[in-house]
Amino acid sequence: MATDLFRKAADYCVAEIQLYDRASSLVCLLEEESNYNTTYSRFWGGDNSDYGYVYYDGEYDLATMMEYTQNFTILSSNVGCLADCYLGGDGCTELENWLTYSGTICKEQYCSLQWGEIDEAYHALRVCASKAIAVPKDGDKEAYVDATHSNQVTSNLCAFKMCASI
């Protein structure tokens, strides 16, 4: 059952949820045609996870954001480059111990399966939801949205650079 706050964010961010769903649909198709063992959902959800599927659905991923941002009242971990989570690098230090496959994905897999597309859509959704419903504990919504947007730009640029050389 969705909360009123979740519904407000989901209604405000329809375009971003659709972007996320299109990106994840493409990734699913590419994964089905590939020979790689680790899928996007397995990467984020782990081997025995009952919730890895949420990473293929925009509304479900929005729901996970509600959890780890405490309904957009706190900033979550500031991962400077989600691509580093897959490939290994300094941009993912806050999450690497939590991720079973951190640093184990090759650049060719990351780029050819277009995992960065879901990540870009994730960031767009997170920024949108911040604009819609954030009530930070420190009271500065503009700073909260700016920090979320800055993280989006940094991570997206990193992903672009990662695949530009292939």
pLDDT tens sequence across 23-80: 999 999 999 999 999 999 889 887 776 666 678 899 999 998 999 899 999 987 778 8
| Token pair belonging to 83 | 């691509």
Q: How confident is the model at residue 1 (pLDDT cuts 50, 70, 90)?
A: very low
Give pLDDT tens digits for 147-166.
Answer: 999 999 999 999 999 999 87
Q: Name which of 131, 127, 123 is nearest 159 in CA terms.
A: 123
DSSP-derived letter for residue 110 is H
Q: How many angstroms separate the CA atoms of 110 and 162, rounded? A: 9
pLDDT for 100: 86
Q: What is the mean pLDDT of the chain?
A: 91
Q: How many angstroms separate the CA atoms of 47 and 154, rounded? A: 29
Q: Name which of 53, 60, 54, 69 is nearest 132 in CA terms.
A: 69
Give the contacts of 135 (CB within 8 A, at least 6 positions apart): 71, 72, 73, 141
